[in-house]
Structures are given as C-alpha cells and as structure tokens.
Amino acid sequence: MIWTIIAIVFSGLGAAGVALILRKITRNKLPKWIIPVFAGMGMLGYQISYEYSWFEHQEARQPEAAVVVSTETGQVFWRPWTYHFPMIIAFTVIDTANMIKTEVDGQHLVEFILYRFEKQHIDLVSHQAYLLNCTTAEMLPLDQQRQPIITQFRKLDVDEKLYLTACR
C-alpha cells in the first residue's frame, strides 16, 4: 500500500511538472491554478488506472494451474465513475493442480480448493475446500477435517465455468 501512495504522489508531481512546463512555454499566459489542477488530475488518473488494472495484475500473479472461474463487479458511491464503468472487486480461482478425482458408486467426485480474492484497502484472500459431484452437479464445502458441510449444499449449472473446469 505504501508503494501505491508513493506512486500517486509522484504521478501528481509529474502532472504538475507538465503544467509548469506548459506555463513556461506560453510565457505564463496560463493561470497559476492550472498547476494544482494538473496535479490533482494526475493523482486521480493514476488511482483510477490502478483500480481498474487490479484484476489483471492479480490474475497475472496466479500460477498456471489456477483458473479464474468467476468475477464480481461493483460500484462505490465515492467513485462515481464506477456506476458507468463497474470495476472488478472480487474473483474466484480454482486450483486445478491439486484436484483429487475419484469415482464412488458410479458417481464422479472431485475435491478441490477455491480461492477468493477481494479488492479492499488491503487485498483479502480466503480459501475453502469443496467436494463436487460431477454426475449430479452438486457441490458441498468441506470443513477442516475434510467432512462435507451438508447445510451449505449448492447445485451448479452444467454450463458454469466452475463445473466445466472441475469436471472436464
């Protein structure tokens, strides 16, 4: 987070420098207030660019075996541009390298881990183990002892990316 703040400050300084050069080129015909306006626009522009590139940056940091199966977009009232251009605020990744595929009584079962990344002031990562019945498209989370939590049963659509990735 400290590097983000430093980058915002330097982008503001750089934009203010551009405004100062423009004033000198025009022999001070541009008003003085253009310098802080450019600084503010530079800082705001960097912040917006950073927020919208967060998903691509996080996705590039994932190992090759990780597959993004869902994303969530959202709006924030103090970022009014997000109402017209929603930004990705969370995504879910399946770890395909550590999937355990078994067959029990003709049912194809897959055990895997889903990782959820959330964009907040400090990025949050949570993980949960799941058991998916590929034959019936039923999914159950697993507790710490790898026992299914029956109360959180969920039925998947067979065209969902999670189902297609886990059961291929």
Reported as a single tens digit per residue, the pLDDT across 76-87 is 888 888 999 999
pLDDT band at 53 (very low <50, low <70, confident <90, very high): very high
- Residue at 116 is within a domain: yes
Pair of tokens at residue 34: 């253009």
At 67 the pLDDT is 94
For residue 146, name the pLDDT band (cuts at 50, 70, 90). Answer: confident
Q: From CA 81, how far away is CA 8, in angstroms rounded?
A: 19
Q: Which of 54, 88, 60 lies closest to 72 in space, CA to CA? A: 88
Give the pLDDT of residue 79: 87
- On whether both 152 and 81 belong to a single domain, the answer is yes
Residue 148: band (very low, low, confident or very high) from pLDDT cuts 50, 70, 90:
confident
Total structural domains in the chain?
A: 2
31, 52, 73 - which closes a domain: 52
What pLDDT score was predicted for residue 151?
87
Tracing tokens 């959330």 back to the chain, one arrives at 118
Residue 74 dihedral angles phi and psi, to the nearest 5° = -155, 165
Q: Of residues 110 and 123, which shows the higher confidence score?
A: 110
Do residues 105 and 156 both lie within one domain? yes
Q: Which ranges in 26-141 belong to alpha helices (H)?
A: 34-52, 54-60
Residues 17 and 94 in one domain: no
Classify residue 57: in a domain, yes or no.
no
84 shares its domain with 143: yes
Do both 111 and 162 map to the same domain?
yes
Are 124 and 46 part of one and the same domain? Answer: no
pLDDT above 70 covers what percent of the chain?
Answer: 100
11 assigned to some structural domain:
yes
Which token pair is 127?
């993980």
- Rounded to whole angstroms, how far apart are CA atoms 108 and 94? 18
pLDDT of 52 above 90:
yes
pLDDT band at 108, cuts 50/70/90? very high
- 145, 81: one domain: yes
Q: Are 74 and 135 contained in the same domain?
A: yes
Token representation of residue 146 = 């790898």
- Asked if residue 161 and residue 94 are part of one domain, the reply reads yes
Both 93 and 27 in one domain: the answer is: no
Domain that holds residue 156: 65-167
Quick one: 80 and 29 in the same domain?
A: no
